[in-house]
Amino acid sequence: MRCLIVEDYVELAELWRLELADLGFEAVAVHSAEAAFAHMLLTPFDLVIADLGLPDGSGLTVAQSAAIRAPGAAVIVVTGQADYPHGELFGMSTNIVAVFRKTSDLNDMLAFADHLRVKRARALGQGDAALPPAEPAARASSDRASLRAGPPELRARLRAAG
């Protein structure tokens, strides 16, 4: 399953890319709405994970573009903002399937993305392909742990994002 990650914080995008790759995704990370639009023209993605607040646009615009360019693609919106507390984002683009706060547990977003991957694989009759890889690819675990824990300034920035 192909996944496009649209997140302007480079370290966070890389962490998500590595974690999703371990779950069996073909994940690509870009850091702007413009780069996301360019990638969507060239590659049909099954899942888009988009930050709501991008320096050159909105994750909502990315979701709406994905709805046109890849109507079957699911979109997970990730935000540091609390502007839509009652699920209003779901009505703004037909392909938004989940909204997660950046300060929430990364495992929740990963579990939801993996659920979508397994569901799609089973719907396509791929059987065992729906199961996660037996052993994730070996990675520099200290680098990943450092990215996952994040420096205090990353946590502060995510809380302050608005």
Alpha-carbon distances, residue 159 vs 13, 106, 152 (angstroms): 17, 14, 11
Q: Which token pair is 77?
A: 């919106």
pTM recorded for the entire structure: 0.77
CATH number, span 2-160: 3.40.50.2300
Contact predicate 52/60, CB 8 Å: yes
Sequence spans of domains, the chain? 2-160
Question: 3-state DSSP call for residue 121?
Answer: helix
Question: 3-state DSSP call for residue 124?
Answer: coil
Give the residue among 66, 8, 13 at the shortest CA–CA distance from 38: 66
Alpha-carbon distances, residue 5 vs 43, 127, 142, 152 (angstroms): 13, 26, 23, 23
Q: What is the pLDDT of residues 117-149, one digit of tens each?
A: 999 888 888 765 555 554 444 444 444 555 555
Rg (CA), the chain: 15
Q: What is the pLDDT of residues 47-74, one digit of tens each?
A: 999 998 899 998 888 998 998 988 889 9
Q: What is the pLDDT of residues 14-33, one digit of tens each?
A: 999 999 999 999 999 999 99
Contact predicate 46/74, CB 8 Å: yes
